């Protein structure tokens, strides 16, 4: 990899990846429409001579194709990740996840780029019958529009690998935590506790079992697999990897870690049921033996990742303000 194209480059994962690649001496073209990405996240990258930011939308195929020219490898990380409110706007997942992935593939084809890494999700397994869930587990009925749109994206990538000789890396993430995290339960819980440290509203009954992965461990896994060229050696030139830790926790566990770190003892108001919203999987635990067998291991536990995320949010409360008024984050 020499010149890397990143969709969603101003987002949590994309901006973190860009900084890591630049530190490794690679050139990066960042692509983002800033619908959810934040400009302070690309502030340091913009100072680097090897970085170029192009503002654009994945649904604009001509602009995407032009921006991608001259790149060697694509990390397609842009997506609508709003699982909870997916039924409020069902077309958004189709357009921003599935159609956008098709456009990325077509832009690659037009530019003669053959290698792609894709951020999929453990949600593609729906409510899995096999726990921990391996990559070759049968896909059950899809329970979220987000998961369904990612399954469709995976299928397109696999077909392009077969039909056009692409090399595809599909990474099925658990929830990712860490610096620049702006979406998920730690973000929501801390926001509530800032406003009222005496009580916390929890979607579901707190029994949901979830798995999480620290952002730098996630990036290390993706770079490890792509640099080894594992997809080139895989059947049909597609390598699928679950990314997570060899553990899970209950939502109640996470609440305990967060409250202990903040020194608060709020009253917990549970909304009931083992699902917080439509499409919420009550048990997510992925089998990660395939990626660990290749030599990668996560460095942080779930608890360590949650506490580190919380500390970053404490130091960067500007992420809770509007995008228009958000100042750049303080330097560590």
Q: How far is CA 140 from CA 25, 72, 123, 124, 244, in A?
A: 42, 35, 11, 8, 20
State the CB neighbour count (10 A cutoff) for residue 279.
21
Please check whether residue 209 is in contact with residue 176, taking contact to mean a CB–CB distance below 8 angstroms: no
Residue bearing tokens 């490890």? 224
Please check whether residue 5 is in contact with residue 75, taking contact to mean a CB–CB distance below 8 angstroms: yes
**With the C-alpha atoms ordered 38, 54, 79, 2, is the resulting torsion angle positive or negative?**
negative
Residue of 51, 102, 125, 146 with catalytic role: 146
Length of the chain: 332
C-alpha 59: how far from its chain's center? Answer: 20
- The DSSP call for residue 173 is E
Closest CA to 245 of 176, 186, 168, 189: 176
Question: What are the tokens at 326?
Answer: 């958000």
Q: Indicate if 169 belongs to the active site.
A: no
Please check whether residue 103 is in contact with residue 66, taking contact to mean a CB–CB distance below 8 angstroms: no
Closest CA to 300 of 228, 233, 223, 216: 216
**Residues designated as active site:** 146
């Amino acid at each position: 990899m020499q010149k890397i194209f990143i969709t969603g480059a101003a987002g949590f994962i994309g901006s973190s990846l860009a900084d890591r690649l630049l530190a490794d001496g690679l050139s990066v073209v960042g692509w983002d429409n800033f619908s959810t990405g934040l400009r302070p996240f690309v502030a340091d990258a913009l100072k680097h001579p090897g970085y170029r930011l192009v503002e654009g939308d994945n649904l604009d195929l001509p602009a995407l194709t032009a921006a991608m020219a001259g790149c060697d490898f694509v990390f397609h990380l842009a997506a609508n990740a709003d699982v909870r409110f997916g039924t409020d706007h069902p077309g958004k997942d189709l357009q921003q996840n599935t159609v956008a992935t098709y456009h990325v593939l077509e832009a690659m084809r037009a530019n003669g780029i053959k290698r792609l890494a894709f951020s999929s999700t453990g949600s593609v397994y729906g409510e899995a019958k096999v726990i921990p869930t391996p990559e070759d587990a049968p896909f059950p009925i899809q329970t979220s529009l987000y998961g369904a749109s990612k399954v469709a994206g995976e299928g397109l990538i696999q077909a392009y690998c077969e039909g056009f000789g692409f090399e595809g890396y599909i990474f099925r993430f658990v929830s990712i935590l860490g610096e620049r995290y702006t979406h998920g339960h730690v973000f929501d819980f801390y926001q509530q506790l800032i406003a009222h440290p005496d009580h916390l509203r929890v979607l579901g009954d707190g029994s949901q079992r979830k798995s999480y992965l620290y952002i730098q461990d996630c990036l290390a896994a993706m770079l490890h697999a792509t640099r080894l060229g594992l997809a080139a050696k895989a059947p049909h030139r597609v390598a699928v990897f679950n990314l997570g830790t060899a553990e899970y926790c209950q939502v109640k566990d996470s609440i305990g870690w967060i409250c202990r770190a903040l020194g608060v003892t709020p009253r917990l108001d549970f909304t009931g049921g083992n699902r917080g919203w439509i499409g919420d999987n009550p048990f997510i635990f992925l089998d990660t033996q395939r990626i660990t067998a290749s030599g990668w291991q996560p460095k942080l536990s779930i608890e360590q990742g949650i506490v580190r995320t919380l500390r970053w949010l404490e130091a960067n409360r500007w992420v809770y303000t509007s995008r228009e008024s958000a100042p750049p984050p303080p330097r560590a």
